[in-house]
């Protein structure tokens, strides 16, 4: 799995989770993954953050697309075998996931 594929999987998951959360409070049990639920609730426990989670994940998917494959970031060239620091930092919040490759650490 490349870092690009890893990021797309995680961001697609966040978008899907945010969309399920928009269905209403009855879905709370469906989306109650410990790492996701806090992102979807405000301080009063209401579902007011799914839109932000979805928008954030979509924006990051655009960033991933700009940095996928062979490209130049700053003075250096990067590719899927040697991902750029932008992708490495985007993946860092998911470093605890089983599919995360420690070699991707920035």
User: Given the complex with Zn ion, which of 47 and 104 has the nearer CB atom?
Assistant: 104
- Residue with the closest Cβ to Zn ion? 84
Number of other residues whose CB lies within 10 A of the CB of residue 76: 10
User: Nearest distance from residue 67's CB to Zn ion, in Å?
Assistant: 3
Q: Which long-range contacts (CB under 8 A, 24 or more apart) does 82-86 make?
A: 83/2, 83/3, 83/4
User: Nearest distance from residue 52's CB to Zn ion, in Å?
Assistant: 25
Applying CB under 5 A, among 10, 60, 67, 94 the residue interacting with Zn ion is 67
């Amino acid at each position: 799995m490349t870092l690009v594929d890893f990021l797309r999987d995680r961001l697609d998951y966040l978008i899907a989770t945010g969309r399920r959360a928009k269905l209403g409070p009855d879905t709370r049990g469906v989306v109650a993954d410990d790492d996701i639920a806090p992102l979807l609730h405000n301080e009063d426990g209401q579902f007011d953050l799914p839109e932000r989670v979805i928008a954030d994940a979509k924006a990051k998917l655009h960033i991933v697309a700009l940095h996928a494959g062979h490209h130049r970031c700053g003075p250096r060239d990067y590719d899927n075998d040697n991902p750029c620091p932008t992708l490495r930092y985007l993946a860092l919040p998911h470093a605890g996931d089983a599919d995360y490759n420690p070699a991707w650490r920035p």
